[in-house]
Amino acid sequence: MRTEVAIIGAGPAGLLLSHLLAQDGIESVVVEIRSAEYVASRIRAGVLEHSTVELLESVGLGERLRREGDEHRGIHLQWPEERHHIDFVDLTDRSVWIYGQTEVQKDLVAARASAGQEIHYEVTDTALHDLDTERPYVTFTDVDGVAQRLDADVVVGCDGSFGPSRGAVPDSVKQSWERVYPYSWLGILADVAPSTDELIYAWHPDGFAMHSMRSSTVSRLYLQVPNGTDVADWSDERIWDGLATRLGHGQDGWQLNPGPITEKSVLPMRSFVQTPMRHGRLFLAGDAAHIVPPTGAKGLNLAVADVAMLAPALAALLRKKDPTLADSYSDDALRRVWRCTHFSWWMTTMLHTSDDPFDAQLQLSQLRWVTSSEAGAAGLAENYAGLPIGF
Ligand code: RFL
Ligand code: PHB
């Protein structure tokens, strides 16, 4: 097989890239290790930044988002006895939208299907070859067990944190940075109307908690738990009790309404960045190049920003033989990556508790400043609602 751009991974980064390239008349083939159903049902992100929404809308992917998504002006930040609203719209004139990654994925799959995009699901043995030549290629075994070779002008690794692309950059070239946090999130999805209008991020001596949502009838909530926690140790009752305590049930008359839990999982948290995001004819985008802890809601938005910068760079490289944007892609993308890496680290370390009473006082002092100083609040708002793509 031959194409212009071989894309590894059919998550949001890979599918949005194929969509953006097609708008520039560039052909791509996508290979994905999982089934279409599995990719579509993975429950992950829920918050879209202002620029993500604008970009999706500008490329014909905003119709259902505007209709079914929910625009939020800001978030609530709280600690025992206090809850404060940070209004992003007042502070920065930018909002965020609640629209699940599962929905973004469905919209992308539908758009690519109607355009006749070639996507190979359930492949195995994906491997990248000759990346430092002008004729790179990808090999894989297709769903019928047939060995395939896909020749391309460019290979893009959109294969998330466990794919082979990141490792295809030689050790002599790459550098990586990592922070593993000493806690995880226990996340639940529940068939109950959200007990809040906008997201609540809560600091509590028992640990962080968050109240998010997916729709007017589905809530998404998280609890800080120790690493290595087994979900089996957390009955539904224990989860709702923990959430009620940490989110302040009863405080100023506020109530947390429990409901049937439909999904429960534990996710570890880490920050990771690998540079450069380009090696020869291989480009990395999204979680393949960087991981952030979910506290700042940045992962999906970073993946979108990467491919929004990469698509015009590849169009200039392949159509006009102009390598300028492709040459600066890694540096351009990494400016935003490091900003979001810092922001998500900052949100994470401000809100998750440890055994250290000194740290707790610093966290509370920081929370009081962020919620009482306009400069403090504006800094959080600007980062959370998101800087313009290519800032
Ligand atoms: P993905 O979505 O992981 O997609 C990568 C795809 O590559 C495939 N793949 C391979 N394909 C072929 N051959 C191989 N050998 C392959 N190996 C892997 C995988 O099967 C997969 O389909 O990466 P992408 O596209 O870069 O997108 C990144 C986002 O998915 C991720 O950053 C976010 O979900 C992170 N995240 C959040 N981000 C936000 O912006 N806002 C949020 O509110 C938010 N909440 C979250 C999150 C992530 C979470 N989890 C579970 C990690 C909440 C959670 C709970
Ligand atoms: C979510 O809705 O899953 C979500 C929202 C905000 C975050 C992380 C996850 O910071």
What's this model's pTM, rounded to 2 decimal places?
A: 0.96
Residue nearest to atom 1 of ligand 2 (CA): 46
Which residue has the least CA distance to atom 7 on ligand 2?
297
Largest separation between any pair of C-alpha atoms in the chain: 65
**Strand order in 261-275's β-sheet?**
82-87, 74-79, 200-202, 209-213, 219-226, 175-190, 261-275, 290-291
Write the CB contacts of 162 (distance below 8 Å, at least 6 apart in sequence): none
Ligand 1 binding pocket, CB closer than 6 Å: 8-14, 31-34, 39, 44-47, 101, 123, 126, 158-160, 162-164, 187, 267, 286-287, 294, 297-301, 303
Instruction: Return the pLDDT at 88.
Output: 98
Q: How far is the CA of 141 from the centre of ligand 1 (A)?
A: 22
Cα 274 to ligand 1 centroid, rounded to whole Å: 16
**Atom nearest to 47 CA in ligand 2:** 5
Q: How far apart are CA 183 and CA 176, in angstroms?
A: 22
Query: What residue type is assigned to position 358 of the chain?
Result: F
**Arithmetic mean of pLDDT, 171-196:** 98
Q: Is the CB of 211 under 6 A from ligand 2?
A: no
What gap in Å lies between CA 32 and CA 158, rounded to an integer? 10
Q: How far is the CA of 166 from the centre of ligand 1 (A)?
A: 14
- Picking from 42, 46, 383, 39, the residue whose alpha carbon sits closest to that of residue 222 is 46
pLDDT of residue 228: 97
205: three-class secondary structure by DSSP: coil
Cβ of 194 below 6 Å from ligand 2: no
Q: In angstroms, rounded to a whole number, what is the distance separating the alpha carbons of residues 245 and 228?
A: 22
CA of 145 to the centre of ligand 1 (A): 26
288 with 303: CB under 8 angstroms? no
- Position 42 pLDDT exceeds 90: no
Ligand nearest to the CA of 35: 1
SS3 240: helix
How far does the centroid of ligand 1 lie from the alpha carbon of residue 341, in Å? Answer: 16
Q: What is the pLDDT of residue 1?
A: 96
Q: Would the CB of 273 count as within 6 Å of ligand 2?
A: no
For residue 174, the model assigns a pLDDT of 97
146, amino acid identity: V
**CB distance 297 to ligand 2 below 6 Å:** yes
Tell me the mean pLDDT in the region 301-305: 97
- Please list the active-site residues: 72, 201, 294, 298, 384
For 389, list phi and psi in degrees, rounded to 5: -65, 130
Identify the weakest region by mean pLDDT among 43-47, 161-165, 259-263: 43-47
The ligand 1 atom nearest the CA atom of 287: 26
How many C-beta atoms lie closer than 10 Å to residue 364's C-beta? 15
**Tens digit of each residue's pLDDT (9 = 90 or more) over 64-119:** 999 999 999 999 999 999 999 999 999 999 999 999 999 999 999 999 999 999 99
pLDDT average, residue stretch 201-212: 98
The helices-and-strands tally (H runs, E runs) of the chain is 11, 20
- In this prediction, residue 333 has a pLDDT band, given cuts at 50, 70 and 90, of very high
Whole-number pLDDT of residue 390: 80
